[in-house]
A and B are shown apart, each in its own frame.
Chain A
Amino acid sequence: DAGVIQSPRHEVTEMGQEVTLRCKPISGHNSLFWYRQTMMRGLELLIYFNNNVPIDDSGMPEDRFSAKMPNASFSTLKIQPSEPRDSAVYFCASTMGDTQYFGPGTRLTVL
């Protein structure tokens, strides 16, 4: 299995632009998590899905952030409009049972 796939791996954009991060979970995994990691705040859970349904989005920082999971093999995290404070590494992780498998992350820089 290829593992969790994320794209792009790096994204540099200007403040105010829309950013879309993509994730393909491991086939057969029924839960998907989006995290954000910064030096200051560590690894923060943004939202998670169970069987494609959003379960808890209380970690989404504000309305500028949205996430979708239209099917079992694809999820997106969108930031519109982006701000410099959104700069971070965004990880997607998929889960079978308790074990989470992380993707390689997307390093986002908002100028």
Chain B
Amino acid sequence: QKEVEQNSGPLSVPEGAIASLNCTYSDRVSQSFFWYRQYSGKSPELIMSIYSNGDKEDGRFTAQLNKASQYVSLLIRDSQPSDSATYLCAVNFGNDMRFGAGTRLTVKP
């Protein structure tokens, strides 16, 4: 069974703090991993992709991948109220994209 699991949250952090979002997946034959952001009432939008073990940084966002532990995370530094959204982890199982349930993040001013 292919599964992608996330802490459903909600996660609340103060403005300026680091938000840490976590995701685990159940199938080892997975080569690509994604984080999507979804604002309420909107469609998911891609914010990060990662393909190899280690860290990938893009502005205030850092994705971390550990294939041995089947674990992928997203760190948001200097969190802003505009980062308040649901964050979806997605894993591509050979062109079969599966999403986690999402973690709702609230950044409080």
Contact = CB atoms under 8 A, between A and B. Distances in A.
Contacts, number: 43
A48 B90 CA distance: 15
Interface in B52-109: 88, 90, 92, 95-102
Contact of B97 (A42, A45, A104): A45
Contacts of A91: 43-44
B103 to A, nearest CB: 11
Contact of B102 (A43, A95, A103): A43
B87 to A, nearest CB: 12
B17 interface: no
Contacts of B99: 35, 42-43, 45
How many chain A residues sit at the interface, stated as a range, is 20 to 34
B25 interface: no
Interface in B12-61: 32, 34, 42-46, 49
Interface string A34-55: 0100000011010010100001
A45 B97 CA distance: 8
B43 A31 contact: no
B100 A102 contact: no
A105 B41 CA distance: 9
A103 to B, nearest CB: 6
Interface of B: 32, 34, 42-46, 49, 88, 90, 92, 95-102
